[in-house]
Amino acid sequence: MSDADGAAPEDGAAEVEADEEARELLETLVSIPSPTPEERECAEALVAFFEERGREAHLDDVGNVRAPADDSVLYTSHVDTVPGDIPVRVEEGEDGPELWGRGSVDAKGPLAALAVAAVRTGVSFVGVVGEEVDSRGARHLIEDRAEPDAVVNGEPSGWDGITLGYRGILQGTYVATSESGHTSRPENNAIQDAISWWSAVETKFDTDDYEPVFERVTPKPVKIEGGVSDDGLAVESTLDVQLRVPPEFSTDEVRERADAELGAGTVNWKDSVEPTMQSPRTDVARAFRVAIRQAGGDPRLLRKTGTADMNIFAGAWDCPMATYGPGDSDLDHAPDEHLPLRELDRAVAVLEAVAEDLQ
């Protein structure tokens, strides 16, 4: 099983006709900007796509696109993107036409593929909001509907890739205050306390370079502020941090180890999502392997070093699941984000076969 994720090789892939319906939907969705939390217009376009094809669809209380149907499998992906203006256009690439635009890979390519396959096979579909920030759509979904028999979550894996594992995430803010004083004094101030704590945390989770990234705890500072307070009487510091958590650990275990390194200051832990590692032997994984082979591909089983909505679903629902979708995840959030349209065509064919298998 690989930690890598990216565009699938085309050698040996069966020829697939251009899927004009999927291509048109993708271009429509990419042409409507939907950075978190501005998803509504794009979500309404997705509702219209389902209604025009005779499927009931609506927006729920948080803005998710809900198209309930056969719950033998739930197809779901996210509507929101990160910010970024990439002119929407189709250009000729090495493997044919490519659609350029923000979200073409993450994750409107998977979103369009899943939506088209859901319409054609009659399975349930949800387009969730907020995945790029706080997963508010996925969190609402697990509280608001019954557990399906299986889940396919949409994120780029390449048309012949199946993502079974994601690391979790722990986020917090370190806060410290010290008395102000002359910089010649040897005692630590609050800024030094923050630096000392974080250095200790990084040392705590240091590993050998040969250990796969997926299996490591990765500590990362994301924002630091500090200095003399407005009244001049104290030195203050805040440090926002993230720690990626492999399946070997729970977020509680990582938090306890980080807290044990505290000398001064406190940490306000504000969000945690548990890691997940799905078995390659579930009905969902088997259905993907069969469908990819039938399409002329060699299935790749992937583990991702980030975190996705599948972590949220796996923490609440005891059903088999996997993440799948067209696109090279190296282009996630990138200024050159683009999707080869033949990859979209192949992904839709695979998703149709998977839904029919699971039904």
Active site residues: 80, 131
Q: Three-state SS string across the chain, please? A: CECCCCCCCCCCCCCCCCCHHHHHHHHHHHHCCCECCCCHHHHHHHHHHHHCCCCCCEECCCCCEEECCEEEEEEEEECCECCCCCCCEEEEECCEEEEECCCCCCCHHHHHHHHHHHHHHCEEEEEECCCCCCCHHHHHHHHHCCCCCCEEEECCCCCCEEEEEECEEEEEEEEEEEECCCCCCCCCCHHHHHHHHHHHHHHHCCCCCCCCHHHCCEEEEEEEEEEECCCCCEEEEEEEEEEEECCCCCHHHHHHHHHCCCCCCEEEEEEEECCEECCCCCHHHHHHHHHHHHCCCCCEEEEECCCCHHHHHHHHCCCCEEEECCCCHHHCCCCCCEEEHHHHHHHHHHHHHHHHHHC
Q: Burial level of 56, CB count in 10 A (0-12/13-18/19+)? A: exposed
CA distance 299 to 6: 13
Interior/surface letters 276-304, b for 16+ CB within 10 angstroms, e for the rest: bbbebebbbbebbbebbeebebebbbbbb
Q: What's the token pair of residue 73?
A: 């499998």
